Structure 1
């Protein structure tokens, strides 16, 4: 390997795609066991590497030189082999600083809660300290002289104004986890999460629902990679490339979730949208039928609406771990917050709006759409939920191909503003 990333489990990593968009070299991912890590570092058979969990501290004894900032932080994520000498840097610091600046998060005179105390946390703590907070509280699994535990957080630190997650909690494939219950932090203004897969963690999703400033780790990942490449190649690179790659990765990785009333056209528009965006198409109702082994009317007849919703939530949990798909949901997906919490983690959600007069009211495959009156009542009840959970509203009042094209345009505009 000439250039690449070493660490523990790397199956979730986007680093190869990012580096190969910034530079012309091949960038390899090399997961290493502890014994293999020591052998790898002793051989020094590489030009330049990045280092991730759990080796950001463990690499330091192998270095011949370490930049002042990395030495102060006590963790290294970038190593360059210069004529047999290993020189260590920490670009996490600059990547996180970029994230803070972009989202205009002010930490001066604020109470800042940093969750996690590993290698990434040390760099982030350095950024926070430079911003002169009123108080910096480090949270770790076990209480120590440097960190409080989670019990302390809930007893003494619910007044935190900035919350930063540097732990892997919430990372794929354990998307349903969050390090804290953000709803209890009534003074919180901003949430920054270094996890980037899923694109919106459960922690950031809750922040979004609460109307807080929030950012995930994808931009930090791209920014620190840009600064690492500068060390790798000994050349300056314009910061604009961070935003360019961020928008491209987001478009490539993000799911598009279509919500709306039964017969609003979600499946028809979804198939066209998937074709235009070159993403696989998923129909949730079809997945439910396949998993249950029976039709939707049969599910309702045998298990009632609650039984159907249980299947729906199971499928939502599965799809939350999927990326780069267009997903058409059933009309009642919004009735349970947990469904949208799951689906919203990796997605842009589009409410496909259709005039109630044009909605079907006599479809035997839709047990809840038995009459015009039932559909109108359902529309009144669900409209606030469709608006609450959607990022974009697109009106379905034209030819399906035109509506799908409008969806693509609004998706691109939404991504450009993120």
Structure 2
């Protein structure tokens, strides 16, 4: 599931996403599955937007920042959602040539919220949140739609921003009783991840907090979601909202209802195709050779962390350990890991000692499934591995094995061949 088509400026447009700087977007992939095709990315400067919307030969548009207000103002007909918010993210050219504006961001978040409440608590969103305190981080465009959807389930909504009465500094003083937090700020978005708009310790003191949602969808697990997970609080990042709003926009484009189950299928497929596969395990367990096979079979880029380290610093890990010590090496290793672990769709083979720094878990977990390769100690060699040589394989296993097991989402017993290990992982992950 990949590939974006940027509009060439001349070809007829059926459906598309209008924005200023779009870069990579999942919208074409999602709309292909929904049936609103062909779907292209359309980058326009502010002085080009009016003419494009009013006179362009298009059937349906999604509109992203900074043009959502323009979309609402330039439409001939506005739904009650657009009138309520003053912004639109969906435009439809009707049969008589007039332009209808709608806001499916509200519907997309409502769909995400309903799924979340049902899945995590076996309740409707209204049953979960009616008369409860809900905090929305951020006061920008996304915040408006989220607040409207929350008000529709009778939640008591407060907006937390950097200035004013309700700030992050006064959070515990004024809103310690909140049941749900929704982050609508870009804090924690790739590549500045994992980061969070609020400290984990603050979340831990909010004893009524049962859920954390984030509209950011890259990485898969944002910083605030990782903190919530650590604290045992139900959480989800924003891909479901993205798919949900596309579902309702596509219904408007095509003029008929769609089976909502397809949205769940799209979600699952995107998660499967974008999630990293991260290999951990003892030195010599076959992570590099298995990773190469996995990449080859799955058509994914394979990154060997030790090779990436050597390329970054023009020194091998062994050289740095001998010259500067293990602590210096581990700090440099984490720097390299943070670069690749924030990306998507990779097979990542790590070094055996990556588990010795606790912060590395968050880096790998934010976008990946962590797979431990388990090979008998008698089959592990310490040749060319200074730490294994200094400590001994048995001592390393004693210190590290509990970490490998606790970090792993899946433990795979080595089959005897790199290809066999790769095929077992593919089978277990259903990819």
Q: What is the TM-score normalised by the length of structure 2?
A: 0.88
Deviates more, 1:168-177 or 1:243-252: 168-177
- Per the alignment, residue 99 of structure 1 pairs with 112
| Contact kept in structure 1, 2:16 and 2:39, CA below 8 Å | yes
How far 1:42 moved relative to its partner? 4.0
Task: Report the CA distance shift for 1:182/1:311 in structure 2 as closer, same or farther (over 3 A).
Answer: same
Q: How far, CA to CA, are the matches of 1:180 and 1:407 in structure 2?
A: 36
Q: How far, CA to CA, are the matches of 1:311 and 1:340 in structure 2?
A: 16
- Per the alignment, residue 5 of structure 2 pairs with none
Q: How far, CA to CA, are the matches of 1:65 and 1:108 in structure 2?
A: 32
- Per the alignment, residue 63 of structure 1 pairs with 75
Task: Report the CA distance shift for 1:247/1:28 in structure 2 as closer, same or farther (over 3 A).
Answer: same
Q: 1:294 aligns with which of 315, 318, 321?
A: 315
Q: 2:389 aligns with which of 363, 370, 377?
A: 370
Q: 2:23 aligns with which of 11, 35, 39?
A: 11
| Contact kept in structure 2, 1:12 and 1:172, CA below 8 Å | no
Q: What is the TM-score normalised by the length of structure 1?
A: 0.90
Q: How far, CA to CA, are the matches of 2:28 and 2:153 in structure 1?
A: 32
Q: How far, CA to CA, are the matches of 2:324 and 2:101 in structure 1?
A: 60
Q: How far, CA to CA, are the matches of 1:174 and 1:40 in structure 2?
A: 33
Does structure 1 residue 260 correspond to structure 2 residue 272?
A: no
How far 1:24 moved relative to its partner? 5.2
Does structure 1 residue 75 correspond to structure 2 residue 97?
A: no
Does structure 1 residue 114 correspond to structure 2 residue 136?
A: yes
| Contact kept in structure 2, 1:111 and 1:136, CA below 8 Å | yes
How far 1:192 moved relative to its partner? 1.1
- Per the alignment, residue 270 of structure 1 pairs with 291
Does structure 1 residue 207 correspond to structure 2 residue 228?
A: yes
- Per the alignment, residue 416 of structure 1 pairs with none
Q: How far, CA to CA, are the matches of 2:415 and 2:132 in structure 1?
A: 49
The answer for unaligned runs of 5 or more in structure 2 is 1-12, 121-127
| Contact kept in structure 1, 2:36 and 2:253, CA below 8 Å | no
- Per the alignment, residue 422 of structure 2 pairs with 404
| Contact kept in structure 1, 2:306 and 2:316, CA below 8 Å | no
Deviations 1:220-246 (A, max 9, x none): 211211110100010111011112211
Query: Once superposed, what is the RMSD of the aligned Cα atoms?
Result: 2.2
Q: How far, CA to CA, are the matches of 2:331 and 2:252 in structure 1?
A: 51
SS of 1:349 mapped into structure 2: strand
- Per the alignment, residue 99 of structure 2 pairs with 86
Give the total of aligned pairs.
Answer: 406
